[in-house]
C-alpha cells in the first residue's frame, strides 16, 4: 500500500495546483487604484444542492452597461475575491462584467477545505450560479464567456461539455487537459487509488509540495500567494486525488468534443500542466474558431511572469475577446490607450 500511495503522490504532485491567477501586490494595488473609480465590487452567498454555503463575487462597470459576461473558474485550492482582483479589474476596464465563485471547500465557501468529493459537483455548482446570472433580464442578450486557470480550465471544459451550445467562448490559461507522459499512472495504481479512496476517502495522505518557486518568477507575487489566508495548502485527500486524476484522463480522452470558440495560453516551461495538452486540445478540438498561444520560457502561472510579459498576455486575451464581442470598448478618461475594436 505504501508503495502505491507513493506512486499516487508523485502523480498528484503534478495535479495539485493551488496557485491562483494573480500578480504581485504592488502592481495589483496600482491596477486596482487605476481602475477603481469604474469598478463596482459585490459579494454574496448561495446554498448549493448539498447544503453548502458558497461564496460568489462580481466586478462590474460603474459607468457603462457591460459589453459581455465573463465567468471565472479558479485553480485547485484557490479562491476568487483576492487572487482574481487584478484580472477582473483589467477586464472591467474594457467594459466586461466579471463573476467568480469559490468552489465548495475553497476560499470563503463552506465545506471540508480542499476536499473534492465529486468533480461533477464542482461543475454543477458553477453551472447553477453562472446560469442564474445569465438568466437575469438585463443579461439575456449579452454574450457569455468562461475563463479558467489550471484546474479551472478543466472545470470550463466540463461546463462546455455539459451544455455545448450555451457558451460563446472560453479563455483557458494552462488548463489541465493532459497528464505528462512520464507521469501517466499504471492501471494498477489507478485501481489502488480507487480501492483505498473507497475505504478512506477523506484520508489526507497525498503530500502537498510547495511549487510556487517553480511555477512563477515574481518574488513579490510568491509572497502574496503565501500570505493569502483563503488558500488551501494542506495535503490532498485520497478522494480528491482520485477525482483530479479521473477528470484529467476523461478530458484528455474527449478533447474532440470541444466545439466552442476558445483561446488557450500556456508557457513552454510549465512543469505543472503539460504544454502538449494545450497543443492536443488545439489540434483535436472540433471547434472552427480556436487559437493557441505558447509563450517561450514562461511558467505555469502566467500572471506571475515579468510585468512586460503579463502585459503581453493580457493584450492577447483582450484582443481575442474583443474580436468576438464586437462593438467599442468604453475606456474611462485618464487611463492608458489601447486598441479598440469597432
Q: Rounded CA gap, 223 and 59, in Å? A: 25
Q: Is residue 107 part of a domain?
A: yes
Q: Rounded CA gap, 213 and 188, in Å? A: 32
| 32: confidence class by pLDDT, cuts 50, 70, 90 | low
Using CA atoms, how far residue 239 sits from 130, 145, 209, in Å, is 26, 30, 18
Residue in the structure block whose three cell numbers are 495535503: 235
Q: Is residue 332 part of a domain?
A: no
Residue in the structure block whose three cell numbers are 464567456: 145
pLDDT tens track for 114-123: 999 999 999 9
* Number of structural domains found in the chain: 1
Q: Rounded CA gap, 26 and 34, in Å? A: 12
Q: Is residue 335 part of a domain?
A: no
- Residue 334 has what pLDDT? 38
Taking residues 37-58, report their average pLDDT: 95
Q: Rounded CA gap, 168 and 160, in Å? A: 10
Outline where 16-172 has alpha helix (H).
Answer: 25-35, 85-93, 119-134, 151-162
Domain that holds residue 218: 2-325
Q: How many CB atoms lie within 10 A of CB 26?
A: 12
- Residue 327 has what pLDDT? 67
Q: How many CB atoms lie within 10 A of CB 257?
A: 14
Strand partners for 71: 99, 146
Q: Is residue 154 part of a domain?
A: yes
Q: Is residue 340 part of a domain?
A: no
The beta-strand segments (E) located in 8-81 are: 39-47, 53-61, 68-73
Backbone angles phi, psi at 137, to 5 degrees: -50, -45
Torsion (CA) 336, 171, 178, 105 in degrees, nearest 10 = 90
Using CA atoms, how far residue 52 sits from 103, 110, 111, 238, 251, in Å, is 10, 6, 6, 21, 27
pLDDT tens track for 309-340: 999 999 999 999 999 998 655 544 433 332 22
Residue in the structure block whose three cell numbers are 461533477: 120
- Residue 17 has what pLDDT? 40
Q: Is residue 298 part of a domain?
A: yes
Q: Is the pLDDT of residue 3 over 80?
A: no
Q: How many CB atoms lie within 10 A of CB 312?
A: 16
Q: Give Cα 159 to chain centroid, integer Å.
A: 12
Q: Is residue 19 part of a domain?
A: yes
Strand partners for 246: none
Instruction: Write the CATH number for 244.
Output: 3.40.50.1820
Q: Are the C-beta atoms of 150 and 174 separated by less than 8 Å?
A: yes
Lowest mean pLDDT among 75-89, 128-142, 324-338: 324-338
Q: Is residue 333 part of a domain?
A: no
Amino acid at each position: 500500500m505504501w508503495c502505491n500511495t507513493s506512486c499516487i503522490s508523485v502523480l498528484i504532485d503534478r495535479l495539485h495546483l493551488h496557485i491562483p491567477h494573480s500578480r504581485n501586490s504592488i502592481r495589483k494595488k496600482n491596477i486596482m487604484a487605476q481602475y477603481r473609480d469604474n469598478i463596482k465590487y459585490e459579494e454574496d452567498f448561495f446554498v448549493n444542492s448539498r447544503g453548502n454555503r458558497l461564496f460568489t463575487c462580481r466586478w462590474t462597470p460603474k459607468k457603462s452597461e457591460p459589453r459581455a459576461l465573463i465567468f471565472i473558474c479558479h485553480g485547485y485550492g484557490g479562491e476568487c475575491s483576492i487572487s482574481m482582483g487584478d484580472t477582473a479589474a483589467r477586464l472591467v476596464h474594457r467594459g466586461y462584467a466579471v463573476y467568480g465563485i469559490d468552489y465548495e471547500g475553497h476560499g470563503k465557501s463552506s465545506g471540508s477545505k480542499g476536499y473534492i468529493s465529486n468533480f461533477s459537483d464542482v461543475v454543477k455548482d458553477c453551472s447553477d450560479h453562472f446560469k442564474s446570472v445569465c438568466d437575469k433580464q438585463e443579461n439575456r442578450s449579452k454574450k457569455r464567456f468562461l475563463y479558467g486557470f489550471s484546474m479551472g480550465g478543466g472545470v470550463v471544459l466540463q461546463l462546455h461539455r455539459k451544455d455545448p451550445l450555451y457558451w460563446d467562448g472560453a479563455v483557458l490559461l494552462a488548463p489541465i487537459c493532459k497528464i505528462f507522459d512520464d507521469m501517466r499512472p499504471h492501471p494498477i495504481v489507478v485501481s489502488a487509488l480507487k480501492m483505498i479512496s473507497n475505504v478512506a476517502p477523506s484520508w489526507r495522505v497525498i503530500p502537498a509540495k510547495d511549487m510556487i518557486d517553480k511555477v512563477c518568477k515574481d518574488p513579490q507575487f510568491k509572497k502574496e500567494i503565501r500570505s493569502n489566508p483563503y488558500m488551501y495548502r494542506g495535503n490532498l485527500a485520497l478522494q480528491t486525488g482520485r477525482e483530479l486524476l479521473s477528470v484529467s484522463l476523461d478530458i484528455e480522452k474527449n478533447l474532440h468534443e470541444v466545439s466552442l470558440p476558445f483561446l488557450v495560453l500556456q508557457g513552454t516551461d510549465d512543469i505543472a500542466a503539460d504544454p502538449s495538452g494545450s497543443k492536443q486540445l488545439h489540434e483535436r478540438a472540433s471547434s472552427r474558431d480556436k487559437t493557441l498561444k505558447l509563450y517561450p520560457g514562461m511558467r505555469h502561472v502566467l500572471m506571475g511572469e515579468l510585468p512586460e510579459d503579463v502585459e503581453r498576455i493580457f493584450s492577447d486575451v483582450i484582443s481575442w475577446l474583443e474580436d468576438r464581442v464586437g462593438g467599442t470598448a468604453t475606456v474611462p478618461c485618464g487611463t492608458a490607450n489601447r486598441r479598440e475594436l469597432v
